[in-house]
Structure 1
């Protein structure tokens, strides 16, 4: 049985991916701040009370996992906030960098010993992290933090390739989740299905790519 670790797995896209992987026979380990009944129903293990921006919390996850082999790590936890030019809340921007950019790197580095040749790492990013695709401005913290995550993901892909570990940067689409007040175009289930298909197609030949969940390559 293959094992997947998913951060932010208690609701939204993270929960949908957990449910679909479990249905395919995966052992799902959900990492989250707050547990949910839906996650408990499908996860083999839930590690709750975890703030992925806190190094001590991440160390706790590492200790709980021990020498468990992780076939798939999905860094899904994220934060979307808005800032208005002229009255920017820089603490808001810092918070988004902590969870959107630094946390995925911290979690990945902490679990390196659990990843082996053939393992995959998927960072749930956003097309709003694309500089070329930015046609509307605004969202300074979210755009910048996701662009930085893309840069980190690309470096991880290069650094981990010799170990046989592939890395993907995946945009789920505009999804009906709490993050966007449920105003998206597709459901979490639809997004999760596309994301998992992209992960299935991920290999050492296409490692480091930036894709929409529908398979469309996205510009940097």
Structure 2
């Protein structure tokens, strides 16, 4: 049984990852902005201690630090899942700059803040892994311009992941980025390619199979390597 910390478990991929991991017996520490809004199906897991919900907003450094103080156990896997699509107005020719900054706060700075706050917990695990949900849209080989704030935030977090992989190599901590697929969630929309169940199942398998030799890499939900 592993202890997995997942940010943003209140909906979408984070919710489904939590469901899959709980069902197979892992312990999950899930972060949400409002822990009072617990799914009915999770109450038993909360009561028996298999699931712990922490209040955390990845925009807020104080919130992250307070959440980390509440955890006193090794974290085997940290999944940076919380993210936003960004503002409605995000063209290079017509940009909501405040919305752009907020997208960077959530999608780029948030994951780095979370890793830094929970690094002592990761170091207590014998084979720690950090998995950041990015997007193929952030790959520099994917030259499109729609949703440029979102694309930029994901390209930037990929570079953060590369840096973390380098800096945590001596600790034996594996750090990667993942593209979860175009998923049928509130963010992806109903016409997306795959279901949230397919994405979560693929991501869990990828994480299970991950080795330290793959640190610093970028994969999609099927395990295929993606160019940065």
Deviation at 1:137, TM superposition (A): 1.6
Confirm or deny: 8 A CA contact 1:3 1:72 kept in the other structure.
yes
C-alpha RMSD of the superposition: 1.4
Whole-Å separation in 2 of the counterparts to 1:120 and 1:173: 20
2:174 — aligned with what?
Answer: 166
- Cα distance in 2 for partners of 1:42, 1:90 equals 41
Which residue pairs with 2:38 in the alignment?
Answer: 36
Give the secondary structure class of the aligned counterpart of 1:69. coil
Runs of 4 or more above 2 Å deviation: 38-43, 84-87, 180-183
Which structure 1 segments of 5+ residues have no match? none
1:111 paired with 2:118, answer: yes
Structure 2 residue runs without a partner (length 5+):
none
Shift of 1:169: 0.5
Q: What secondary structure does 1:132 align onto?
A: coil
Deviation string 1:41-81 (CA, Å, 9 cap, x unpaired) is 54521113x2111011001111111x211011000000102
The TM-score normalised by the length of structure 2 is: 0.90
In the alignment, structure 1 residue 130 sits paired with structure 2 residue 139: yes
Distance 1:147 1:39 in 2: 34
Match of residue 78, structure 1, among 74, 80, 83: 83
Report deviation, 1:26: 0.5
Change in Cα spacing, 1:202 to 1:186, as seen in structure 2 (3 Å) is: same
Match of 1:141 in 2: 149
Q: Please name the residue that 2:109 is paired with.
A: 102
Indicate yes or no: 2:12 matched with 1:3: no
Using the alignment, how far apart are the partners of 1:36 and 1:180 within structure 2? 23
In the alignment, structure 1 residue 180 sits paired with structure 2 residue 188: yes
Give the distance between the partners of 1:114 and 1:22, measured in 2 at CA: 20
Matches of 2:182 and 2:81 in 1, distance apart? 15
Question: CA contact under 8 A between 2:92 and 2:145: conserved in structure 1?
Answer: no
Once residues 58 and 36 of structure 1 are traced to their aligned partners in structure 2, the CA distance between those partners, rounded to angstroms, is: 20
Matched, 1:53 2:71: no
Provide Cα deviations, 1:169-195, integer angstroms capped at 9, x if missing partner. 000000001113333111111100111
> 3-state DSSP class of the match of 1:31?
strand
Confirm or deny: 8 A CA contact 1:177 1:183 kept in the other structure.
no
CA distance in 2 between partners of 1:122 and 1:145 (Å): 16
Matched residue SS, 1:111? helix
Summarize the alignment of residues 207-218 of structure 1 with structure 2, pairs less than 5 Å apart: 207-218=215-226
Q: 1:69 aligns with which of 74, 81, 84?
A: 74
Q: Report the Cα distance in structure 2 between the residues aligned to 1:40 and 1:147, rounded to whole angstroms.
A: 37
